[in-house]
């Protein structure tokens, strides 16, 4: 006697995979767009380091924008300069997006890189391929189980 294993319905499996892949693709596009905004319209400012978190070495800075606003925010993760992290009270050059200075800030000494955007895009591609292959395999297995 054959024991049937409960498997998820193929359309549900494919839909969930598609949602995850689209989420990674959207995240990659957002990171890419933000990095391009800094490259295209970014402005430099001198920022004072307010805090450096020990756990992830995130740098919180405070600076004044060209239009006079004082902004306190964290330097983008992966956008820190190589070498030891600065200490609280140090001054570092930053590049910020004048349209969104609170969320888009990069250490000006750090090389421009799209590492996070490429990682997210690669994950979306691998997920799309994996979801497709797994969905086809699941559909075939479900069809065989019905025979």
pLDDT tens-digit series, residues 24-68: 999 999 988 888 888 889 999 999 999 988 766 788 999 999 999
> Residue 89: which pLDDT band, with cuts at 50, 70 and 90?
very high
Q: Would the pTM count as exceeding 0.75? A: no
Question: Which burial class, exposed, middle or buried, applies to 29 when counting CB atoms under 10 A from its CB (0-12, 13-18, 19+)?
Answer: middle
Highest-scoring range by mean pLDDT, 17-21, 58-62, 77-81: 17-21
Q: Rounded to 5 degrees, what angle do the CA atoms 53, 58, 62 make?
A: 95
- So what's the pLDDT on residue 107? 87
Buried-exposed string 36-71: b where 16+ CB fall within 10 A, e elsewhere: ebbeeebeebebbbeebeeeeeebbbebeeeeeeeb
pLDDT in the model for residue 5: 66
pLDDT at position 16 over 60: yes
Report which of 11, 35, 53, 41 is spatially closest to residue 106, judged by C-alpha positions.
Answer: 35
Task: Look up residue 25 and give its two tokens.
Answer: 């693709």
């Amino acid at each position: 006697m054959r024991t049937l294993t409960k498997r998820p319905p193929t359309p549900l499996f494919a839909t969930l995979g598609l949602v995850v892949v689209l989420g990674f693709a959207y995240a990659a596009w957002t990171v890419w767009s933000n990095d391009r905004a800094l490259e295209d319209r970014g402005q430099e400012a001198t920022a004072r380091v307010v805090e450096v978190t020990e756990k992830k070495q995130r740098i919180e800075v405070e600076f004044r924008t060209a239009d006079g606003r004082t902004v306190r925010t964290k330097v983008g993760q992966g956008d820190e300069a190589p070498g030891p992290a600065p200490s609280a009270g140090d001054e570092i050059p930053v590049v910020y997006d004048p349209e969104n200075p609170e969320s888009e800030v990069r250490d000006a000494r750090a090389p421009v890189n799209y590492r996070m955007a490429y990682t997210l895009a690669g994950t979306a591609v691998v997920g799309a391929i994996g979801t497709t292959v797994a969905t086809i395999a699941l559909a075939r297995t479900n069809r065989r189980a019905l025979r």
